[in-house]
Amino acid sequence: MRSLYLLREYGTAGIEGEQVIVRADGEEVERIKLPLLDQILVMGNLQLSTALIKACLNRGIQIAYLSRNGWCYGRTQSIQGGYRHRGRHQLLLTESDRINAAISLIAGKISNARVLLLRLTRRDRRDQVANAIDRLSWHGQQIRKAKSLERIRGLEGNAAAEYFQALGSLLEGNGFAFLGRHRQPPTTPFDALCGFSYSVLWNALLTRIELQGLDPYEGVLHVGSARHAALVSDLIEPLRTLLADPFNVWMIRTRRIQADIGFEVRDGGVFLTEAYRKLWLKAWSNYMAEQICLANQMQGPRWELLDGLVRSFVRYVYSPSEGIVVPQRR
């Protein structure tokens, strides 16, 4: 099963037989078999026909209406559909299942972090960063041997400190030095940019988790509460270093985001200005809409990486022996 992303600013989407037909200016631009879909995400301004909406309701295919940045306005769902039972299956995961899931997610995060640092220092090798890369490799090896969630949390925290210190040293000349992570409130442009980008990604991931009927408050590594969607915090880990951090580096190094003019001091912290938030969100929307080669060798927008990870976790809930497929940068 897969998602259909409707990203166009204009056009229509209808149904002919068992196929969804997308048209713009009267010309067919996309055709996909309806039985292959489990959700349609409308991120542009296309008009969906009543016949298509009814066909989706009959098949239990959810339609979500999102902003270009991944924020969910709402969704259309059959009153008899949904996956309400999946939350109960999450509760049946054993301690060993949770440990294995956490190992996959954090090992993926560390691997993506290491590859990003390698790419950034391909032409500018620095001893500090090279040492951090070596230590990240060690942490990744130790994560895979971990026997408890406490051990995983400790290793992840140490690896994150190594990674951010190295990344900050590479961006220091651009005014984005790492001086320690401070989240509430952020105290440096580095913190502010990380926090803003992670929050946008976090909310987009929450939408995907809810669309798949998982309980976002039932995690495997993080501890959930009435105010903390632990599963979102779990699944976002490898996506931070796969999507958000590389994008932020590109924005900084191309000077689209500048530390001296893009931030303001208020409420005891440092925050992106409104103009730069809009600039970042527009660029992020374009970045996530770009077509890439996915793990199944199909082409799709980067948004599909979120869907793929969530679907992999769904499969894990039912069959932990299959493991979790975490998207990784090569």
Q: What is the pLDDT of residue 8?
A: 84
> Distances from the Cα of 266 to the Cαs of 42, 180, 263, 270, in angstroms?
35, 19, 10, 6
Query: Within 13 Å, how many C-alpha atoms sit on residue 82's CB side?
Result: 13
Per-residue pLDDT 10s for the chain (330 aa) are 678 888 888 899 999 999 999 999 889 998 999 998 988 989 888 899 999 999 999 988 889 898 876 778 888 888 765 566 788 889 999 999 999 999 999 999 999 999 999 999 987 778 889 999 999 999 999 999 999 999 999 999 999 999 999 999 999 999 998 877 777 788 999 999 999 999 999 989 998 998 888 999 999 999 888 888 999 999 999 999 999 999 999 999 999 999 999 999 988 899 999 999 999 999 999 999 999 988 777 888 999 999 999 999 999 999 999 999 999 987
Measure the CA–CA gap between 106 and 104, rounded to whole angstroms: 6
**Which SS3 state, helix, strand or coil, does residue 329 take?**
coil
**Cα–Cα distance measured from residue 75 to residue 98, given in angstroms and rounded to the nearest whole number:** 30
Residue 231, H or E segment: helix 230-235
Report pLDDT for 239: 97
What is the rounded CA–CA span in Å between residue 204 and residue 306? 8
Nearest residue to 232 via CA among 246, 250, 220: 220
Domains assigned to the chain? 2-76 (3.100.10.20), 86-322 (1.20.120.920)
Kindly tell me the sign of the dihedral angle through the C-alpha atoms of 179, 132, 118, 297.
negative
Estimate to the nearest angstrom the gap between the alpha carbon of 98 and the chain centroid.
Answer: 20
Strands 2-6 and 37-42: parallel
Q: How many CB atoms lie within 10 A of CB 88?
A: 11
| Residue with the two structure tokens 């995907």 | 208
Q: Which two tokens stand for residue 151?
A: 């051990």
What local confidence, expressed as pLDDT, does residue 84 receive?
Answer: 64
CA distance 327 to 319: 19
Separation CA 270–CA 221 (nearest Å): 30
pLDDT at 69: 67
Instruction: State the pTM of this model.
Output: 0.85
Q: What angle do CA 186, 200, 304 make, to 5 degrees?
A: 145
- What are the backbone dihedrals phi and psi of residue 76, each rounded to the nearest 5 degrees, phi first? -105, 125
Binding-site annotation: residue ranges: 156, 222, 237
Q: Which residues are part of a known binding site for Mn(2+)?
A: 156, 222, 237
Q: Quick: pLDDT tens for 85-129.
A: 788 889 999 999 999 999 999 999 999 999 999 999 987 778 889
CB proximity list for 58: less than 8 A, separation 6 or greater? 78
Burial class, 328, CB count within 10 angstroms (exposed 0-12 / middle 13-18 / buried 19+): middle
Q: In what helix (H) or strand (E) does residue 310 lie, and over which residues does it extend?
A: helix 303-318
Answer yes or no: are the C-beta atoms of 218 and 90 closer than 8 Å.
yes
C-alpha 184/C-alpha 33 separation (Å) is: 46
DSSP state letters, 58-113: HHT-EEEEE-TTS-EEEEE--TT-S-TTHHHHHHT--HHHHHHHHHHHHHHHHHHH
